[in-house]
Amino acid sequence: MGTDLSQIRNIGIAAHIDAGKTTVTERILFYTGKNYKLGEVHEGTATMDFLQEEQERGITIQSAATTCPWTKDGVEYKINLIDTPGHVDFTIEVERSLRVLDGAVAVFDGKEGVEAQSETVWRQADRYKVPRLCFINKMDKLGADFEFSFRSIRKRLGANPIAVQYPIGFGNELEGIIDLLGMRAYYFDSDSQGAVVTEKDIPAHLAEKAAEWRHELVEKAAELDDNLMERYLEDESTITIDDIKKALRKGTIALQCNPVFCGSALKNIGVQRLLDGVIDYLPNPTQVPEVQGTNPRDKEQKLSRKHSNTEPFSALVFKVVSDTHGDLTYVRVYSGVLKKGTRLLNPVNGKREIASRIFEMHAKERVPLDEVGAGNIVAVVGIKDSITGDTLCDSDHPIVLERMDFPEPVISMSIEPNTADDKRKLSEALVTIRREDPSFRSEYNEETGQTIISGMGELHLEIIKNKLVRDMKVGVQVGQPRVSYREAIAGPATGCRGTFKKQTGGRGQFGDCTINIEPYTKEQAEADGLKFNDNVAFVNEVVGGAIPKEFIPSIEYGIRMTAKSGVSAGYPLIDIKVTLTDGKYHEVDSSQVAFEQAGRLALIEAVHKARSILLEPIMKVVILTPEDYFGNVTGDLASRRGMILEQEDRSGIKVITAEVPLSEMFGYTTVLRGLSQGRASNSMEFAKYAPMPMNLQKEVIAASAS
Question: Which residues are at the interface with ligand GDP (CB under 6 A)?
Answer: 15, 17-23, 86, 137-138, 140-141, 264-266
Please say whether the beta carbons of 91 and 407 come within 8 A: yes
CB-nearer residue toward ligand GDP: 229 or 266: 266
Residue 140 vs 556, nearer CB to ligand GDP: 140
CB of 106 to ligand GDP, least distance (A): 11
Query: Residue 537 is inside which H or E element, if any?
Result: strand 536-540
Nearer to ligand GDP, 137 or 597 (CB): 137
Strand segments (E) across 277-373? 291-295, 298-305, 314-321, 328-335, 338-339, 343-346, 351-354, 357-361, 366-369, 371-372
Q: Which residue in 556, 551, 457, 463 sits closest to 509, CA to CA?
A: 551
Of 178 and 387, which has the nearer Cβ to ligand GDP?
A: 178
Is 58 exposed, middle or buried, given 0-12, 13-18 or 19+ CB atoms closer than 10 A?
Answer: exposed
Could you tell me the smallest distance in angstroms from the CB atom of residue 66 to ligand GDP?
15
Closer residue to ligand GDP in complex, CB, 112/390: 112
To ligand GDP, the closest distance from the beta carbon of 648 in angstroms equals 21
Min separation Cβ 48 and ligand GDP, Å: 18
Per-state percent for the chain, helix, strand, coil, to nearest 5: 35, 35, 30
Nearer to ligand GDP, 12 or 20 (CB): 20
CB closer to ligand GDP, 86 vs 409? 86
Q: How far apart are CA 143 and CA 124, in angstroms?
A: 29
| Among 183, 184, 221, 210, CA closest to 199 | 184
Chain centre distance of CA 262: 26
Please name the helix (run of DSSP H) or strand (run of DSSP E) that holds residue 414, with its range, or none: strand 411-417
Cross-strand partners of 332: 316, 377
- Write down the least CB distance from residue 655 to ligand GDP, Å: 18
The whole-angstrom separation of Cα 73 and Cα 66 is 22
How many residues comprise the chain? 706
Which residue lies nearer to ligand GDP by CB, 138 or 220? 138
Compute the least distance from the CB of residue 79 to ligand GDP, in Å. 18
Question: Least distance in Å: CB of 368 to ligand GDP?
Answer: 30
Q: Given the complex with ligand GDP, which of 138 and 357 has the nearer CB atom?
A: 138
CB nearer to ligand GDP: pick between 33 and 347? 33
CA atoms of 165 and 147, how far apart (whole Å): 11
Greatest Cα-to-Cα distance within the chain, rounded to the nearest angstrom: 103
Smallest distance from the beta carbon of 681 to ligand GDP, in angstroms? 13
Q: What are phi and psi of 483, to 5 degrees?
A: -75, 140
CB of 276 to ligand GDP, least distance (A): 18
Beta-bridge mates of residue 502: 509
For the CB of residue 491, give the shortest distance to ligand GDP in the complex, in Å. Answer: 48
Query: Strand runs (DSSP E) across 34-175, as ranges?
Result: 65-72, 75-82, 103-109, 132-137, 161-163, 165-168
Question: Closest separation between CB of residue 140 and ligand GDP, Å?
Answer: 5
CB atoms within 10 A of CB 214: 21
* 20/583 with CB nearer ligand GDP: 20
Q: Which amino acid is at 141?
A: K
